[in-house]
Amino acid sequence: MGLFKDFVSQTRKPEGFLGKMMLSGMNSGHAKMADWGFTHLPAITPTKAVDLGCGGGRNAGELLKKYPQAHVTAIDYSDLSVEKARDYNRDMIAAGRCTVQQGDVSNLKLPAGAFDLATAFETVYFWPGLEKCFAQVAKVLKPGGYFMICNESDGTDATSLKYEKIIDGMKNHTAEAIEAALKAAGFSEVVSDHHPSKPWITVLARK
């Protein structure tokens, strides 16, 4: 259990050799869920988007493809994730369309009211207080901007609840809990969707 716990705990903040192993599978392992999440985005044409908790950088790359006119900023708490995401998106970084940087969602060092869209895939489990962190996201969004959260866990599935007991600092949130925290943080028009056959959820909110 010791090595297994050490490995799965890398989902929180990848570090060292085990962190590199985790990140190597993160982009492909979450791709189907992320792509399902992307289908929930409204018909918008953002000029600036931010992917929070970017992990290996794949979803930031998909945002760059989906919105060819946009600049995408990718943020992660883990220096190792930042390194991986920079490597994954190196061409877009060189082209001036992408920035990847270390950051903390509980205290975002980003300009206020700068972004049209924020996304968070498989990451809010580890955010230190949803309402506090969601308020930080609201701060950096423009009025009318969107924030989309996509999770593999609906907060009730047995597998995810098992990992919650193993991984320190992990909390599986229900869609209802996420919606309530978003509204408390100042978001409106909050809607959620549950995958018909999997415990995946997507929550979309507008500032």
Q: Could you report the per-residue pLDDT of 92-113, keeping only the tens digit for each?
A: 999 999 999 999 999 999 999 9
Indicate the residue type of 7: F
Check residue 27 and give its pLDDT. Answer: 63
Q: Is residue 95 part of a domain?
A: no
**CATH number of the domain to which 136 belongs:** 3.40.50.150
Query: pLDDT at residue 20 above 60?
Result: no
Q: Is residue 187 part of a domain?
A: yes
Q: Is residue 47 part of a domain?
A: no
Tens-place pLDDT, residues 29-57:
678 999 999 999 999 999 999 999 999 99
Query: pLDDT at residue 121 above 60?
Result: yes
Q: Is residue 176 part of a domain?
A: yes
Q: Is residue 58 part of a domain?
A: no
- Contact by Cβ (8 Å): 153, 48: no
Q: How many CA atoms lie within 13 A of 113 on its CB side?
A: 1
- Which pTM does this prediction carry? 0.89
Residue 148 structural domain? 2-42+100-206
Query: pLDDT at residue 180 above 70?
Result: yes
How many domains does the chain contain in total?
A: 1
Please give the Cα distance from 193 to 175 (Å, whole number). Answer: 8
Q: Is residue 49 part of a domain?
A: no
